[in-house]
Amino acid sequence: MRVVIQRVTASRVAIGGETVGQIGRGLNLLVAIAATDTEAELQWMARKCLDLRLFPDPAAANPRFDLSVTEIGGELLVISQFTLYGDGRKGRRPSFDRSAAPDRAEALYDRFVELLRASGLRVETGRFGAMMQVQIDNDGPVTLILDS
């Protein structure tokens, strides 16, 4: 599993000009499911995304990465993006051999979203397999890539 985590002041996803998901302060998560992923990877990644300290504590003398999205009561926008496993080392067209097959990937993606929603935070999503336009107001900018 691979997730690109971006700390945002706001983020939205649209399909055909219609907004289908939108958040304020929180995290934008671009999510790719690998062919080898299991429930264990989903649980580890969900916990990591919720607990990773990426937000400053305004009360701290030198605010840095002090608080998690859970601690600030932030929001999550979760977008499926199998292209994160694209391998462009050979030829002119990337290979996506490491990505899970669409049916399996969608089930695991849905389960990942379910695990995030169990936190009680507001979780918005795009639409699996759709062509989407994502607007990301990256805060910092802060962007991390996590692999399970």
Give me the active site residues, please.
81-83
CA dihedral 69, 21, 85, 144 (to 10 degrees): -30
The number of beta carbons lying within 10 Å of the beta carbon of residue 109 is 26
When computed from its CA atoms, the radius of gyration of the chain, rounded to whole angstroms, is: 15
3-state helix, strand and coil shares in percent for the chain, rounded to the nearest 5: 25, 40, 35
**Which residue's structure tokens are 């389960």?**
111
Bond prior to 56 in cis (omega within 30° of 0): no
Nearest-CA neighbor of 54 among 120, 142, 129?
142
Is the distance from CB of 54 to CB of 65 less than 8 angstroms? Answer: yes
